[in-house]
Amino acid sequence: MANTDEAKDFLFRCLVGGVISGVAHMAGYIPTTKPLVDRPSIWYGSLHATLVSMCALLVTMDIVDLSWWPRFGLPMSMGYMAYDLIAWCLPKLDWALILHHFVVIFVHAPMGLVVGQEVCGAGDKEWALRTAAFVYLMELSVPPLNYRWYLRKTLKRSALRYVTNSKLEYI
């Protein structure tokens, strides 16, 4: 059975991740120019991807302790997913993203508790945490993709920053 203090701590950290996403979402309404005003989720989505992928990178490269993943990276992601469901996916009825968020939460949330790590790793908590962090490395591609979306909507002619950004995505 899960330790209730551990579960409360994990839920609190998820709440902090959701609040950070909410503040970043509100900042997305500051620009009043197109196309940003039409897609304020680009701000908090990019922030989430940057923070979570950096934590995953640090963990998978053994630069920081593996305990960082369930304490920082995972709650940041779970908070973002919950916030994004409420603030963007459900109001816009973005069914693909709704399904994606539910699957990610279902698969990764157990890693926030020691008992979940043991069950998901068949007794090997370290393997389960490393695998979960490794999967989140895919978030590294989100900021360049969002920047490319912005450039495609705003550039009137070919530009070096578009070509450079596009090449970075293939590295």
| Cα 78–Cα 66–Cα 133 angle in degrees, nearest 5 | 45
User: What was the pLDDT predicted at 156?
Assistant: 80
**In one letter, which amino acid is 95?**
W
Helix (H, G, I), strand (E, B) or coil at 32: coil
Q: Is residue 1's pLDDT more than 60?
A: no
Per-residue model confidence (pLDDT) at position 25:
79
Domain spans of the chain? 4-138
Residues 6+ apart with CB under 8 A from 25: 40, 41, 43, 44, 83, 87
In whole angstroms, how far apart are CA 156 and each of 37, 96, 163? 19, 31, 14
- Report whether pLDDT(20) > 60: yes
More confident residue, 19 or 3: 19
Interval 122-171: pLDDT, tens: 999 999 999 999 999 999 999 988 888 888 888 887 777 777 777 776 66
For residue 90, the SS3 value is helix
